[in-house]
Structure 1
Amino acid sequence: MSERREITLEVGDNEFTFALDPVDVSKYFNHLTPSNKVAPANNLLTQTVKQEQLASLRPLLANPVITLQLAGALLEEYTPDIEINVKKRSPAPSA
C-alpha cells in the first residue's frame, strides 16, 4: 500500500477529508512517545486535512480527547484489511 488515500470523516454536521500516505503514517508513529501522543495526532490531522477545511477542524482539536479519537478513526480506516494468524509452536520434546 504505497498510494495516497483520501478518507472522509463525518464529525457532527461537518465532513473532513484527509489525504494520507505511508510517509504520513510513519511520521505519526515515529513521533509517538509515552508522554507525547496528542501532538503527533494533532500534526497528522492538520497536515493531512484539505487545507480549506483546516479552519473548521482547529476548534475540535482544542480538546485532546477529540484529537485522539479523530486520529484513531483516521488510522483505523487507513489500515488495510489483512488477515494475520499467529502459529502456535509445538512444545519442545522432553529429553
Structure 2
Amino acid sequence: MTDRREITLELGDQEFTFTLTPADVTKYFNSMTQNNKIAPANNLLVTTVHQEQRATLKPMLGNPVMTLQLAGALMEEYGPNVDIIVKKSSSTLSA
C-alpha cells in the first residue's frame, strides 16, 4: 500500500475525490475524543477533498450523521485488506 491514496466517493450523482496520507489519518484519530467526533471527521473531509470540490461538499457536512458516514467510508477504503484472526488463549495453566 502506498502512503498517499486517492479515494473517490460517490454521493448521488456527485463524486468527491479525497487524497489521504498517513499524517491525515493519524491527525483524525488523534483528535477524536469521547465528546468530539464530528469536528475531526469534518476537518478530515474538508482538508483532504480536492480543492475544487470543497464548496460543493461543505453544505453536505451540515448533517453530523452524513459527516461520520463519509469519514467512515474513507477510513474503510484507506485501510489495508488484511485477514486478522484472534486466537483464543489456552485457559490451562502449566505448573
Q: Retained in 2: the 8 A contact 1:2–1:22?
A: no
Q: Retained in 2: the 8 A contact 1:28–1:41?
A: yes
Q: Distance in 2 between matches of 1:2 and 1:26?
A: 15
Displacement of 1:58:
0.4
Q: Which residue does the alignment assign to 2:90? A: 90
Instruction: Number of aligned residue pairs: give it.
Output: 95
Displacement of 1:90:
1.2
Q: Which amino acid aligns with 1:31?
A: S
Q: Which amino acid aligns with 2:21?
A: D
Q: Which residue does the alignment assign to 2:53? A: 53
Q: Which runs of 5+ in 2 are unaligned?
A: none
Q: Which runs of 5+ in 1 are unaligned?
A: none
Percent identity of paired positions between Structure 1 and Structure 2: 66
TM-score, with normalisation over the residues of structure 2?
0.94
Q: CA RMSD in A?
A: 1.3
Q: Distance in 2 between matches of 1:38 and 1:26?
A: 16
TM-score, with normalisation over the residues of structure 1?
0.94
